[in-house]
Structure 1
Amino acid sequence: MIAISATDRKLTASMDLRFGRCPYFLLTDGEVTRFIPNPYQEEENDVAPRVVELLKNQKVTKIVTGEIGPKAKTSLDQNKIQVIMLSEDKISLQHVLKKMNLSR
């Protein structure tokens, strides 16, 4: 399962460059695509480990995002979740899926 940090719950939305503070994650396995909210987006402390746990519980093995901090990196490494970082601002989720050969 792949997760992409998202600004909204639609494929035309942009990838969110923020990992722990994004409002949604698009989850896909190449067949099924769905969105889940990030319940920790507004939290103050230790957001990254909780977001990583959320994604781990969704069977995510790769995350596509723009930026991750040191706590997130450590937590993702410990949970064996690969990070794919894209620095393109305002890239649509559809475009990210095409880049990863996951769109139909």
Structure 2
Amino acid sequence: MGKIEGIKIQNYGALKDIVLGKTRTNQNAKALGNLVAVIGPSGNGKSTLADIVYPQGYLKLKKRAVGKYSEIGNAKCEWADKIGKCLHLHENSSPSYQYFIGELEKRIIA
């Protein structure tokens, strides 16, 4: 089975110039892991990225939710509840993520 090691996106919806992981033009980068979480505010391109990886994924989700925005949000929350059990937080080697977790742990312990 194939695996996406990286992706480069230019001028597609809200995504202007994005490189994630190892690509043909960025061979020295680390390949994407088995699970990639994309987190950010509304309108930053999360659904656009999902549609690139899984064509029309957002539209299929919207259809499943019978068109109500709150139902789409509920479906995303259900998915987030399930995926959280699969995350291995301390195995994410991204420097920015490790910094974030370190700061979060400091505040929880304090």
- TM-score normalised by the chain length of structure 2: 0.25
Q: Which has the larger radius of gyration?
A: 2
Q: Pick 1 or 2: higher relative contact order, CA cutoff 8 A, min separation 6.
A: 1
Which has more strand, going by share of residues?
A: 1
